[in-house]
């Protein structure tokens, strides 16, 4: 019995002829290889998205624009810690050609020191 994780189909090799065993094995290896190849480039709900530096994408409440074959993701860069969950850095920008791999383009619009929320309260 051959069983590949993620596959429902099970094949009993003892009931197959030699040539069919070779074909079945080839198809199983091909299917398994395709599953592994596509799993590396799959979106996983709840998983943290990382940029090209391996850092979690920080673009909250953002939007995506498309220009000349490139997607641009703009959103609030939020900070953690004693200051709380505040957007006191500015608007962060990421770019991608395939909506899967994101390159950190840096802060597109920085918050001025005099405009920080903490100075208004």
Q: What digits encode the pLDDT tens for the residues 77-118?
A: 988 777 666 767 899 999 999 998 999 999 999 988 665 555
Give the pLDDT of residue 78: 87
Q: What digits encode the pLDDT tens for the residues 19-50?
A: 666 555 655 555 555 444 444 567 788 889 99
Burial class (CB in 10 A: 0-12, 13-18, 19+), 102: buried
Query: How far apart are the two ends of the chain, measured CA to CA in Å?
Result: 68
Q: What digits encode the pLDDT tens for the residues 3-24?
A: 455 545 555 556 667 666 655 5
């Amino acid at each position: 019995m051959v069983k590949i994780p993620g596959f429902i189909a099970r094949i009993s090799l003892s009931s197959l002829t030699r040539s069919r065993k070779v074909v079945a094995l080839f198809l199983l290896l091909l299917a398994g290889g395709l599953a592994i190849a596509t799993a590396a480039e799959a979106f996983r709900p709840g998983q943290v998205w990382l940029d090209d530096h391996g850092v979690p994408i920080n673009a909250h409440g953002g939007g995506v624009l498309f220009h000349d074959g490139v997607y641009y993701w703009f959103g609030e860069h939020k900070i953690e810690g004693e200051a709380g969950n505040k957007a006191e850095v500015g608007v962060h920008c990421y770019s991608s050609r395939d909506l899967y791999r994101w390159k950190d383009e840096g802060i597109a619009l920085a918050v001025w020191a005099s405009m920080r929320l903490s100075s208004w309260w």
